[in-house]
């Protein structure tokens, strides 16, 4: 007589049991607090407040500090993310070839990922300080010193810091996607007479598109997480050009203006969700058109 195996749980139930601890932790520390914050944004005070509708959002949109922080954040994302995508893709294409120092270069570009933020900021402060390395070079060259973090150059410094910090991560994602493209496609393109540019356009970029959307989405999310570096470089109230949404919400937190804080957080999360949904929908349509 054959023995029957008794399975106490199905595969779906077992998967739910394994995911339950993470789901509970995510709900307790993220989803529930965020939902409570959204509710607070429609009240006039934290405890025992009454419903005021969109009054907090109207006051937020009328604030000059909020508009300045939102404009600077959009400008920073609009500049840094395209530059990061282009540079990381070029590096991935370069390192996808057989180079003598390939492994060393990969380690060098991914090193900023494991360096603590405080150490990174210390190095950049030494380099861009009024009496720092860069100004010393300018002084020796006969040029005037520049207060990099208290001028319009501060946005450029922040963009460089963001690219330097994240280029290794995006490069790894692009490199993994490039190595997953079958070599037969390139051989077929060469047989048909396609040159290097046509292979890049009709083979590499086409099959790299799903990874491209993911990298763009991750890069946009990471651009909203640059607050730590900016805060350590320029403090609570930095130069107007690099006064970001995170600074605005951080100052609201210290002043205990919970209603405006939760309203600003809700608006920012809503913008990120809409942008992510748009990118995913576009990527889905592109994939369907390719099939």
Rounded Cα–Cα distance for residues 177 and 97 (Å): 14
Report pLDDT for 10: 65
Show the tokens assigned to 255.
């002043």
**Does CATH number 1.10.3720.10 belong to domain 50-290?**
yes
Beta carbons within 8 Å of 78's beta carbon, 6+ residues apart: none
For each of the chain's 291 residues, which pLDDT tens digit applies? Answer: 445 454 555 677 888 888 888 889 888 888 888 888 888 888 887 777 788 888 888 988 888 888 998 899 889 999 999 999 999 999 888 888 777 777 777 777 777 777 777 787 888 888 888 888 888 898 888 888 888 888 888 888 889 988 988 898 898 899 888 888 888 877 777 887 777 777 777 777 877 888 888 899 889 888 888 877 787 777 777 888 888 888 888 888 888 888 888 888 888 888 888 888 888 888 788 777 765
Report pLDDT for 7: 55
Residue indicated by tokens 């099939």: 291
Report pLDDT for 79: 92
Report pLDDT for 8: 56
Q: 9-12 contacts: CB < 8 A, separation 24 or more?
A: none
Rounded Cα–Cα distance for residues 153 and 150 (Å): 8
Rounded Cα–Cα distance for residues 211 and 226 (Å): 23
Give the chain as a DSSP string.
Answer: -PPPPP-SS-HHHHHHHHHHHHHHHHIIIIIHHHHHHHHHTTBSSSSSPPB-TTHHHHHHHT-HHHHHHHHHHHHHHHHHHHHHHHHHHHHHHHHTS--TTHHHHHHHHHGGGTS-HHHHHHHHHHHHSTTSHHHHHHHHTTPPP--GGGSTHHHHHHHHHHHHHHHHHHHHHHHHHHHTS-HHHHHHHHHTT--HHHHIIIIIHHHTHHHHHHHHHHHHHHHTTTHHHHHHHH-SS--GGG--HHHHHHHHHHTT-HHHHHHHHHHHHHHHHHHHHHHHHHHHHHHHHH-
Report pLDDT for 81: 92
Rounded Cα–Cα distance for residues 164 and 111 (Å): 10
Report pLDDT for 291: 56
Report pLDDT for 1: 45
210-232: burial string, b at 16+ Cβ within 10 Å, e else:
ebbbbbbbebbebbbebeebbbe
pTM of the model: 0.80
């Amino acid at each position: 007589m054959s023995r029957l195996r008794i399975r106490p749980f199905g595969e779906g139930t077992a998967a739910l049991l394994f995911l339950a601890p993470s789901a509970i932790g995510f709900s307790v520390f993220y989803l529930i607090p965020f939902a409570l914050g959204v509710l607070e944004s429609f009240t006039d005070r934290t405890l025992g407040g009454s419903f005021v509708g969109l009054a907090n959002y109207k006051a937020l949109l009328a604030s000059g500090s909020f508009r300045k922080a939102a404009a600077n954040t959009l400008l920073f994302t609009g500049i840094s993310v395209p530059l990061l995508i282009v540079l990381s893709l070029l590096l991935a294409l370069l390192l996808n070839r057989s180079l003598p120092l390939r492994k060393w270069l990969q380690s060098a570009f991914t090193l900023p990922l494991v360096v603590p933020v405080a150490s990174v900021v210390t190095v950049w402060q030494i380099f861009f300080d009024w009496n720092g390395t860069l100004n010393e070079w300018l002084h020796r060259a006969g040029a005037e010193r520049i207060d990099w973090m208290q001028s319009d150059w501060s946005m450029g410094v922040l963009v460089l810091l963001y690219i330097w910090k994240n280029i290794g991560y995006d490069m790894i994602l692009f490199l993994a996607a490039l190595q997953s493209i079958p070599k037969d496609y390139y051989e077929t393109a060469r047989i048909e007479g396609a040159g290097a540019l046509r292979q890049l356009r009709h083979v590499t970029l086409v099959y790299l598109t799903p990874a491209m959307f993911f990298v763009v989405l991750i890069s946009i999310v990471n651009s909203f997480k640059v607050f730590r570096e900016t805060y350590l470089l320029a403090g609570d109230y930095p130069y107007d050009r690099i006064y970001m949404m995170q600074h605005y919400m951080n100052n609201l937190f210290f002043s205990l203006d919970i209603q405006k804080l939760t309203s600003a957080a809700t608006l920012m999360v809503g913008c990120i969700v809409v942008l992510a949904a748009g990118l995913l929908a576009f990527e889905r349509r592109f994939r369907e058109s390719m099939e």
